Amino acid sequence: MLLNLSIKNFAIVRQLDIDWQNAMTTITGETGAGKSIAIDALGLCLGERALTNTVRPNCKKAELAATFDINKNIKATNWLTKQDLMQSEDGQQHECILRRIISSEGRSKAYINGSQVPLNQLKQLGALLINIHGQHDHQLIVKSSEQRRMLDEYANNQPLLDEVKFSFNQWKNLQAELQILQQSKFQREAKQQLLEYQVQELDEFNLQTGEFENIETEFKRHSHAQDLLNDSLQTIYQLSANENFNIIDSLRQASENIVQLSQVDSKLTNIAQLLTEALIPLEEANDELKHYHEQLELDPESFLALEQRYSMAITLAKKHQISPEKLPEYHRHLKQELALISSDETRLLQVNEDIDNAKQNYLAIAKQLSKNRQSAAKTLSKLITQSMQELNMPDSQFSVQITQYNNEQSQALTINGIDEVNFAISMNLGQPLEAMHKVASGGELSRIGLAIQVILAAKVTTPSLIFDEVDVGISGPTAAMVGKKLQQLGENTQVICVTHLPQVASKGHQQLFVSKLSDGEHTETKVTELNQQGRVREIARLLAGDSITDSSLANAQELLAS
């Protein structure tokens, strides 16, 4: 419940500090005094957008703060805990403070329990703390969407609505997927044909990783085989095969000569050793070269097969605009792409079945929602009919009419279910039930709206309810009944009512009086909590106007006593 509202430099308010009681509080005041100014300030604390004239003239900023008792408000405490905005670490916090600072330039800052937060978080939390009914709310109830919302609120259908919304979105997402798959089907089929040809071609060639490098090496060797044979044989001839002169025999003879001379002159010993050591690798090289030459052979058939595979690798690489070494990797990539396209085709067959299943799941939940609505509609129709008759419409009838869409027509299914909800009324005996906006006058619509609000308010889970001049256009016995209904509502929850009717004002457990003061230069709004004597005089003023008489005072005392 709302405990305190602090207002500083807001509109024509210099400073106000209002403590609120449980049960029902009524707010009255002179015309133009700003009876709704506290409600406007509270709305800003709850996240409403600020207007340019929010800040009091000649002031830099407006400061607004609302303190709530959340001891028994489980939804609010859970929200605060989830958002890490609880002041108490043990979760036993009893109060919550919403604060708003608005500069004269229009900039705004919002706080919850001292932590700065986005404005949207004020709105989220505010919806769990208080419910405000404005004087123009009755104009909304002629809309089918608002009528459906009120019925669902009365029937506590939010969990089912969430399920319907989830299943509806699931169904629509599958339809969107199907559309994308169908739109790309032609391109996908063309791509699949190309990929199948490319993969088959590469499958047949079947080049392995690292194979091209080996092919390239062997191709070079085979293509130069004759040169290798000739040049290696010529080198062998020069090294050892020439009987007249060869390098190895000459070097051996030179080495032997120097070895003999080193026995005469020791200075030649090192040279003799170097020549002997040089001969060893030269002989080894000659032996290996002979072995290499013996292994060389000209094989035209092998060379032709090698040349064909080498050329094919080059051709395929150019065709796919990659290097030949990357053909195996590219081959694997094409296979994967082909598998994905094939899976899309499989998905196209599956998604139709998924859509049917999703639609049936949606319909199952939507039908349960419809059943709940129909059950609640019967009860709500009786309650509102009774309430309307009590509000000086004795022959009226009210009916919540529910029409189901055709379940087979997918375009008729909505995120809110398969029902169209309409409020129908009959104001006189013998008249058929018709849509409200066709039958009810402005005053009647206002009373109907109030009757609906009072009944729905009893089902609302927020601990505080505000009615801002919802009794406009009501007077006499009807006003007395409105006051009685609001008073009964205040027995179970906190009710704050801005009113101009003495019959309503007198039903409050607490009454606040709003007045406007002026010193000739500045205007200021003041809010005073009235004592019993003050309430008598204010109720008398509401009854008789500014000329308060003994009769009006007596009537005021009688209203308060009742």
Q: Higher confidence at residue 506 or residue 452? A: 506
For residue 447, the number of C-alpha atoms closer than 13 Å in the C-beta half-sphere is: 29
Helix (H) or strand (E) holding 487: helix 476-489
pLDDT value at residue 303: 67
The answer to whether 531 and 520 are in contact (CB under 8 A) is no
What domains can be seen in the chain, in order of their start residue? Answer: 1-135+461-530 (3.40.50.300), 189-341 (no CATH)
pLDDT at 330 over 80: yes
pLDDT-derived band at 4 (thresholds 50, 70, 90) equals very high
The answer to whether 36 and 500 are in contact (CB under 8 A) is no
The answer to whether 445 and 453 are in contact (CB under 8 A) is no
pLDDT at 392 over 90: no
pLDDT at 510 over 90: yes
Which region among 39-43, 361-365, 485-489 has the lowest average model confidence (pLDDT)? 485-489
pLDDT-derived band at 249 (thresholds 50, 70, 90) equals confident
Q: What is the pTM of this model?
A: 0.63
Q: Higher confidence at residue 382 or residue 276? A: 382
Which region among 82-86, 346-350, 395-399 has the lowest average model confidence (pLDDT)? 346-350
Q: What is the 3-state secondary structure (H, E, C) of 55-103?
A: ECCCCCEEEEEEEEECCCCHHHHHHHHHCCCCCCCCCCCCEEEEEEEEE
**For residue range 15-40, what is the model confidence (pLDDT) as tens digits?**
889 999 988 999 998 777 777 888 88
pLDDT value at residue 312: 84
| Mean pLDDT for all residues in the chain | 84
pLDDT value at residue 157: 93
pLDDT-derived band at 449 (thresholds 50, 70, 90) equals confident
pLDDT value at residue 159: 92
Whole-number Cα distances in Å, 557 to 37, 500, 510, 541: 28, 17, 15, 12
Q: Higher confidence at residue 31 or residue 82? A: 82
pLDDT at 344 over 60: no
pLDDT-derived band at 298 (thresholds 50, 70, 90) equals low
Q: Higher confidence at residue 326 or residue 475? A: 326
SS3 of residue 431 by DSSP: coil
pLDDT-derived band at 442 (thresholds 50, 70, 90) equals low
pLDDT value at residue 185: 62
pLDDT value at residue 52: 67
pLDDT-derived band at 474 (thresholds 50, 70, 90) equals confident
**For residue range 161-210, what is the model confidence (pLDDT) as tens digits?**
999 999 999 999 998 888 777 766 666 666 767 777 788 888 888 888 88
pLDDT at 484 over 80: yes
**For residue range 122-145, what is the model confidence (pLDDT) as tens digits?**
999 988 898 887 655 656 788 888
pLDDT value at residue 523: 79
pLDDT value at residue 409: 60
Within 8 A by CB and 6+ apart from 357, the residues are none
Helix ranges restricted to H, 265-412: 269-295, 300-319, 327-390
Whole-number Cα distances in Å, 349 to 167, 178, 187, 354: 21, 10, 17, 9
